[in-house]
Amino acid sequence: MWTCLVGHFSLGRLSRDGVRALQRHGGGWRPREETRPCLAQMGCRWHQTLAAAPLHQVVGPSIRQVQAMDVERLVQVKWEDGSHSLYPFVWLRDNCQCPVCTLHSAKARSLLLSQLDVNTTVDQVTLMEPTKVSIVWPDQHTSEYDADWLKKRCFSPKARRAQQEELFLNKRAHWGSDLQIPTASFEEVLHDNKAALDWLMALRKVGIIFLKGAPVKQGQVARLSQRIGYLRLTFYGHTWQVQDKLGANNVAYTSGKLSLHTDYPALHHPPGIQFLHCITQAHQGGESEVVDGFHVANQLRRENPEAFHTLSSLLVDFTDTGADYCDFAVQSKNHIIDVDCDGQVVRINYNNATRDSILDVPLEQVQPFYSSLKAYVDLMCQPKNVVTYKMEPGDVVTFDNWRLLHGRKSYVSHPENLRHLEGAYLDWDEVMSRLRGLRKAIHRES
Residues between 92 and 151 that touch Zn ion (CB under 5 A): 96, 98, 100-101
Q: Rounded to whole angstroms, how far apart are CA atoms 296 and 375?
A: 11
CB–CB of 328/322 below 8 Å? yes
Q: Minimum Å distance from CB 5 to Zn ion?
A: 25
Phi–psi pair at 106, nearest 5 degrees: -110, 0
Residues between 234 and 293 that touch Zn ion (CB under 5 A): none
Q: Minimum Å distance from CB 380 to Zn ion?
A: 53
Q: Which is nearer to Zn ion, 96 or 197 (CB)?
A: 96
Residues between 404 and 423 that touch Zn ion (CB under 5 A): none
Greatest Cα pair distance, the chain, in angstroms, is 90
Q: Which is nearer to Zn ion, 98 or 195 (CB)?
A: 98
Q: Which is nearer to Zn ion, 28 or 237 (CB)?
A: 28
Q: Which is nearer to Zn ion, 98 or 216 (CB)?
A: 98
Residues between 333 and 372 that touch Zn ion (CB under 5 A): none
Q: Rounded to whole angstroms, how far apart are CA atoms 111 and 278?
A: 51
Q: Which is nearer to Zn ion, 95 or 193 (CB)?
A: 95
Q: Which is nearer to Zn ion, 143 or 281 (CB)?
A: 143
Q: Minimum Å distance from CB 33 to Zn ion?
A: 19
CB–CB of 243/417 below 8 Å? no
Q: Which is nearer to Zn ion, 28 or 305 (CB)?
A: 28
H/E segment holding residue 36:
helix 35-40
Q: Which is nearer to Zn ion, 26 or 343 (CB)?
A: 26
Q: Rounded to whole angstroms, how far apart are CA atoms 406 and 31?
A: 62
Phi–psi pair at 77, nearest 5 degrees: -110, 125
Q: Rounded to whole angstroms, how far apart are CA atoms 37 and 114?
A: 31
Q: Minimum Å distance from CB 88 to Zn ion?
A: 16
The site for Zn ion, by CB under 5 A, has a size of 4
Q: Minimum Å distance from CB 189 to Zn ion?
A: 43
Query: Across the strands, what pairs with 331?
Result: 319
Q: Rounded to whole angstroms, how far apart are CA atoms 73 and 143?
A: 16
Q: Which is nearer to Zn ion, 145 or 294 (CB)?
A: 145
CB–CB of 131/146 below 8 Å? yes
Closest to 424 (Cα-Cα) out of 273, 214, 207: 273
Tell me the CB-side half-sphere exposure of residue 338, using CA atoms within 13 A: 15
H/E segment holding residue 128:
strand 124-129
Q: Minimum Å distance from CB 111 to Zn ion?
A: 7
Q: Which is nearer to Zn ion, 52 or 100 (CB)?
A: 100
Q: Minimum Å distance from CB 143 to Zn ion?
A: 5
CB–CB of 48/67 below 8 Å? no
Q: Which is nearer to Zn ion, 66 or 291 (CB)?
A: 66
Q: Minimum Å distance from CB 151 to Zn ion?
A: 20
Q: Minimum Å distance from CB 145 to Zn ion?
A: 11
Q: Which is nearer to Zn ion, 111 or 201 (CB)?
A: 111
Q: Rounded to whole angstroms, how far apart are CA atoms 311 and 370?
A: 10
Strands 63-69 and 404-408: unpaired
Helix extents (H) in 145-292 = 147-152, 157-168, 186-191, 193-205, 220-228
Q: Minimum Å distance from CB 18 to Zn ion?
A: 13
Residues between 67 and 96 that touch Zn ion (CB under 5 A): 96
Q: Minimum Å distance from CB 74 to Zn ion?
A: 19
Phi–psi pair at 36, nearest 5 degrees: -70, -45
Q: Minimum Å distance from CB 144 to Zn ion?
A: 9
- The Cα-based distances of 225 to 92, 232, 404, 426 in angstroms read 39, 9, 20, 7
Query: Across the strands, what pairs with 335?
Result: 315
Closest to 399 (Cα-Cα) out of 256, 266, 210: 210
Which residues of this chain interact with Zn ion, rule CB under 5 A? Answer: 96, 98, 100-101
